[in-house]
Amino acid sequence: MIAFEAVSKTYAALSEKGGGHAALSGVSLSVKAGEVFGVIGASGAGKSTLIRLINGLETPTGGRVVVDGDDVAALGVEGLRALRRRVGMIFQHFNLLSGKTVAQNVAFPLKLAGRPAAEVKARTAELLERVGLSAHAGKFPAQLSGGQKQRVGIARALATGPKILLCDEATSALDPETTEQILELVSGLNRELGLTIVLITHEMDVVRRVCDRVAVLEGGRLVEEGSVEDVFLHPASGTARRFVQEAEGEISVAPGVGGRLVRLTFKGEATYKPVLGEVARATGVDYSILGGRIHRLRETPYGQLTLALTGGDVAAAIAQFQAAGVRVDDLGGESV
């Protein structure tokens, strides 16, 4: 649905934000139809630049961005307009028109597209219903909470019936509970309307909740890409490790703890099996629990436990964990 082919972007050196250096360098990635694709990175990593290339708000200085079959840079004014009807976008600060009501904000793209008044009215009502704002149609943005403003943003982004929804830090200005509700709404659009979603965030937790795959940007370069499961459970890049640690908290190992340190990762079914006890009994290995958590990646439960294994047959224990579908990462310590 979306393909980045060796895309680079260097802003003009005279721009007010600085520019002159590459905001993106040689980024290649593809987003499949119907998936929720996350992009994470620190501030300044190039996330907004990347997402704005998708709907032609920026043009690449190298490489190509192909969206739904179109090379975005090759589109004329009309082609770009048509593309933007197929690609909706929501923003961190909502970007609503403060002088217009909720209904007028949602109706705005339809009026721009020259739709007949009766259609605009019916479609606006339907969209407000979808985002749960029917009772607030006549209010102005200043009278709404942050979550309600983002719901208006979402309804407006959906007005022209897009196939793709771009979310640039859409929950970064919201409190955790509101974030949860907005993510639920966005997930529903993906499930029920089959929308392809590209979601940019600096919060790993957002990625964990809603994304299928994730790309990690570091200084304008793509440093890691994979299923959320892989990147979350086994982050390879420095940036991904930092993000996961921030989201999950760090496991600290007390000095002087003996034994072989291992991290076990249980996924799906294995999360709830009594594997630890079985392996301990069978191999005579004892364990101290140093840290652990059970969470969900979208619908998949997973658990991670950091253990110090002592006594018994440690090598056999590790082999048995692996045979039971548990991933074992060796964190060092005493050798077997």
Name the site residues for ligand ADP (rule: CB under 6 A).
11, 15, 17-19, 23, 41, 43-49
* Shortest distance in whole angstroms from residue 9 CB to ligand ADP: 8
Cβ neighbours of residue 120 closer than 8 Å, sequence gap 6 or more: 107, 110, 111
* Shortest distance in whole angstroms from residue 43 CB to ligand ADP: 4
Q: Name which of 36 and 51 has its Cβ closer to ligand ADP.
A: 51
* Shortest distance in whole angstroms from residue 53 CB to Mg ion: 13
Which of Mg ion, ligand ADP, none is residue 258 near (CB under 5 to 8 Å by kind)? none
Which of ligand ADP, Mg ion, none is residue 265 near (CB under 5 to 8 Å by kind)? none
Question: Distance of CA 5 to CAs 8, 64, 67, Å?
Answer: 9, 5, 11
Q: Which residue has the tokens 């006549």?
A: 138
Q: Name which of 15 and 98 has its Cβ closer to ligand ADP.
A: 15
Question: According to the binding rule CB under 5 A, does residue 92 interact with Mg ion?
Answer: no
Which of ligand ADP, Mg ion, none is residue 88 near (CB under 5 to 8 Å by kind)? none
Which of ligand ADP, Mg ion, none is residue 190 near (CB under 5 to 8 Å by kind)? none
Distance between CA atoms of residues 148 and 146, nearest Å: 5
Q: Name which of 92 and 304 has its Cβ closer to ligand ADP.
A: 92
Q: Name which of 58 and 229 has its Cβ closer to ligand ADP.
A: 58
Which of Mg ion, ligand ADP, none is residue 161 near (CB under 5 to 8 Å by kind)? none
Question: Distance of CA 283 to CAs 55, 144, 154, 302, 314, Å?
Answer: 58, 61, 55, 24, 7
In a 13 Å sphere around the CA of 220, the CA atoms on its Cβ side amount to: 15
Q: Name which of 56 and 259 has its Cβ closer to Mg ion.
A: 56
Dihedral in degrees, nearest 10, Cα atoms 125, 128, 133, 135: 0
Task: Please name the residue ranges forming H helices in 113-175.
Answer: 117-130, 146-158
Cα separation of the two ends of the chain: 50
Q: Name which of 47 and 136 has its Cβ closer to ligand ADP.
A: 47
Which of ligand ADP, Mg ion, none is residue 46 near (CB under 5 to 8 Å by kind)? ligand ADP
* Shortest distance in whole angstroms from residue 11 CB to ligand ADP: 3
Q: Name which of 217 and 317 has its Cβ closer to Mg ion.
A: 217
Question: Distance of CA 145 to CAs 11, 21, 149, 173, 300, Å?
Answer: 35, 38, 6, 11, 32
Encoded tokens for 317:
């224990």
* Shortest distance in whole angstroms from residue 47 CB to ligand ADP: 3
* Shortest distance in whole angstroms from residue 48 CB to Mg ion: 3
Cβ–Cβ < 8 Å for 182, 170: yes
User: Which DSSP category does 325 fall into?
Assistant: T
Cβ–Cβ < 8 Å for 31, 37: yes
* Shortest distance in whole angstroms from residue 251 CB to ligand ADP: 28
Site string for Mg ion, 27-66 (x = CB under 5 A): --------------------xx------------------
Strands (E), the chain: 2-10, 22-31, 36-40, 62-67, 70-71, 87-91, 164-168, 196-201, 213-218, 221-227, 260-267, 286-297, 300-310, 327-333
Distance between CA atoms of residues 232 and 248, nearest Å: 10
Q: Which residue has the tokens 């090598």?
A: 315
**How many chain residues are in contact with Mg ion, going by CB under 5 A?**
2
* Shortest distance in whole angstroms from residue 67 CB to ligand ADP: 18
Q: Name which of 23 and 297 has its Cβ closer to ligand ADP.
A: 23
The site for Mg ion (CB under 5 A) is made up of 47-48
